[in-house]
Structure 1
Amino acid sequence: MRNAKPVSFQLPQIRTLLDLSAVRLNDILLLLSQRHVLTYMEDAVCQLLENKEDISQYGIARFFTEYFNSVCQGTHILFREFSFIQATPHNRASFLRAFWRCFRTVGKNGDLLTMKEYHCLLQLLCPDFPLELTQKAARIVLMDDAMDCLMSFSDFLFAFQIQFYYSEFLESVAAIYQDLLSGKNPNTVIVPTSSSGQHRQRPALGEASMLEGVEASLFYQCLENLCDRHKYSCPPPALVKEVLSNVQRLTFYGFLVALSKHHGINQALGALPDKGDLMHDPAMDEELERLLAQVPGLVNSVTASSEASCLPSRTPPRVGSPWRPLHHARKVDAESDGSTEETDESET
């Protein structure tokens, strides 16, 4: 049997192979960064170390499988700290979807709640959810009205979606708006560079800014430049242009209202259904009916949770490990989803 002929490479070929390897590695690293895979790996390892005694009987491989299954399903954000639920765009979209699915019966029943009551509902999913973000979302709905006014679920939800998902972007937009009002160069705006959850205070918008507004075309030019250089999520520039092309002047909160009501922006974000389908979730309804039928004492627990759901003092336990939420996520959703069933019956 003849010996295999050795393969010889010339120096240029070796350089080409190394260059290709470097390009592929850079592409892989870029993809991992864009998908925030390293964020989830770090979180998974931390959860594993914190709960290694509970997980050891199931095995590390199964833990990682269930962890990333929960990430794909969007249940990984349940009862997690705010710094985690706002760490990635996927986490934010998952939180929005969970909030809608858990409490959509508020809208289905036609209930109107105050800003503080909506904040209590948010805290049921994220105990340390900041009041400031809830207030900003309520301001989009209420404008000049008192902050203790009642809001419908759909109005608050779509306003909250814009404020929560695009929070860093809107901070920069508010600064640009203030600069335009005062005649300053908006290019000097400092874009937020931290996602630690400590949001900068939005510049105060006085009565003059609420009444006068700014020129829409100039405002769009500034926002177009902002979208090009902004490292965080922002609405598609084409849709922002569509929003601003219908008016000559607008106020900051008028812009936020337009964003929250824009059908295309809601579709581009992809977390919530269209407004017409907001109260429909057949899969969750079926799951809720199944749980109610199988667990005799669940109806009483749902009634109790309904009575306590709007109490500011209620603080749900934080579940540190994704291992346990994976087994209890369905029950939590069911309890939250049914938390207004008692209200529905009492009102009728």
Structure 2
Amino acid sequence: MEIPRIFNPSRRKGLHKERLQMSGEDYAELFKISILFQDAIKIILDRREDKPLDLLQEYFSVALKGEHVLLRDFSFISSSQYNRSCFINQVAKIFHTNPYFKIITALDYHQCLCLLCSDFPRSLVLEVSKIVPVHPSYQNNSEKPENYISTLSNEPSLFDKFDIEEFRQGAEMFFFYSEFMEKLKTLFSELSSGDFSIENEVMISLAYSGINSIYSRTRFSLFLFPPIEIVQEALLSKAQGKLQLPLDELYLVDEIGDKLNASGAIGYKDLCLALMKNPEIALEIERQYQIPNNHEEELKKLATEEPSSIEPSSQSSRRVRTKKKR
């Protein structure tokens, strides 16, 4: 089998082919389709309308538009990769299409998210505020008035001001890949000597070995992890100053270990910023949200179709006849 190359889009085609070859049960488990059915059934039972199939068709029409995550709790919007992608899409559509404010505090951005999800965790926004660079116009803390930071807050970074688009990139990554980001922070904490700080640097080779171990241990889990090639690219971008790697060269995945075993260090904040700035991260998240063509007409046809009108396939008919003969 040909080894995939970093930065090579052909890998995604291979993953798409694998997805098409999956069984229905595996596909439903991987993308957590049961969550949507459970949610739809709960709504049908609560409303108890005369035409439940029409309500089911309406629910999935809304779900395919990505609007089923609006005004829902955090446990629901984060329950599947599709729901997470839909929520990100709705945030971008509502707050980022033509933003009135170009600069925003982390606390204000959290309040915007709470308008769509009332219990969106502030801790996630706080993590982003510690990673995303403060807007250049507000980097000098000495210029802030004495009452700029509330005395009731133990997290002054929530009151820093950021470019709204940069903060969106960080928030999307920390939300969509929350499990991976938590494991990544734990890894750097374990590798750091002394008290952990997001600025502390560890050997790139140790970070790479630890990340590889995380991927190998969780490859059969349902956690949402960014493609390993994106992480390797982020590490390489930090190591290029030491290794003097050609910017236009492609590397085989098996070769990366040798390239990253050289001297060099990286911090948790540096790696997060490199991931956040990588355009492939945004593309991977966006690809989870795709609206099929003519989905409303197809759903309406399926919802109104009588069960008796569904003709069994020729293969199933042959099986029935064979069973009768036996």
**Band the TM-score falls in, shorter-chain normalisation:** 0.5 to 0.7
Rounded to whole Å, the distance in 2 between the matches of 1:136 and 1:272 is: 24
What is the identity, as a one-letter code, of the residue corresponding to 2:26? L
SS at match of 1:175: helix
Alignment of 1:212-227 (within 5 A): 212-227=200-215
Rounded to whole Å, the distance in 2 between the matches of 1:161 and 1:256 is: 12
Which residue of structure 2 lines up, in the alignment, with residue 159 of structure 1? Answer: 170
Residues 1:70 and 2:58 aligned together = no
Q: Which of 226, 233, 247 does residue 235 from structure 1 map onto? A: 226
Q: Which of 39, 42, 46 does residue 46 from structure 1 map onto? A: 42
What is the alpha-carbon root mean square deviation over aligned residues? 2.4
Give 1:87 shift.
0.3
Q: Sort the Cα spacing of 1:271 and 1:103 in 2 relative to 1 into closer, same or farther, 3 A.
A: farther
Which residue of structure 2 lines up, in the alignment, with residue 265 of structure 1? Answer: 281
Asked if the contact 1:142–1:149 (Cα under 8 Å) also holds between the matched residues in 2, the reply is: no
Residues 1:127 and 2:118 aligned together = yes
Count of residue pairs the alignment pairs up: 220
Rounded to whole Å, the distance in 1 between the matches of 2:216 and 2:39 is: 30
SS at match of 1:76: helix
SS at match of 2:237: coil
Rounded to whole Å, the distance in 1 between the matches of 2:66 and 2:35 is: 15
Give 1:105 shift.
4.8
Residues 1:91 and 2:83 aligned together = yes
Asked if the contact 2:81–2:288 (Cα under 8 Å) also holds between the matched residues in 1, the reply is: no
Asked if the contact 1:141–1:156 (Cα under 8 Å) also holds between the matched residues in 2, the reply is: yes
The one-character-per-residue Cα deviations of 1:81-118 (angstroms, maximum 9, x if unpaired) are 110000001111111110011011564x4531111110
Rounded to whole Å, the distance in 2 between the matches of 1:76 and 1:227 is: 31
Asked if the contact 2:173–2:281 (Cα under 8 Å) also holds between the matched residues in 1, the reply is: no
What is the identity, as a one-letter code, of the residue corresponding to 1:128? D
Alignment of 1:294-309 (within 5 A): none
Alignment of 1:138-177 (within 5 A): 138-142=129-133, 146-147=156-157, 148-177=159-188
Give 1:142 shift.
4.0
Asked if the contact 2:102–2:164 (Cα under 8 Å) also holds between the matched residues in 1, the reply is: yes
Which residue of structure 1 lines up, in the alignment, with residue 24 of structure 2? Answer: 28
Q: Sort the Cα spacing of 1:127 and 1:220 in 2 relative to 1 into closer, same or farther, 3 A.
A: same
Q: Which of 50, 53, 56 does residue 61 from structure 1 map onto? A: 53
Rounded to whole Å, the distance in 2 between the matches of 1:104 and 1:166 is: 21
Q: TM-score, structure 2 length as denominator?
A: 0.63
Rounded to whole Å, the distance in 2 between the matches of 1:117 and 1:105 is: 17
Q: TM-score, structure 1 length as denominator?
A: 0.59
Give 1:171 shift.
0.9
Asked if the contact 1:216–1:245 (Cα under 8 Å) also holds between the matched residues in 2, the reply is: no
Q: Sort the Cα spacing of 1:271 and 1:94 in 2 relative to 1 into closer, same or farther, 3 A.
A: farther
Q: Matched residues, percent identical? A: 25
Q: Which runs of 5+ in 2 are unaligned?
A: 1-21, 142-155, 239-263, 290-326
Q: Which runs of 5+ in 1 are unaligned?
A: 1-25, 184-203, 274-348
Which residue of structure 2 lines up, in the alignment, with residue 114 of structure 1? Answer: 105
What is the identity, as a one-letter code, of the residue corresponding to 2:80? T
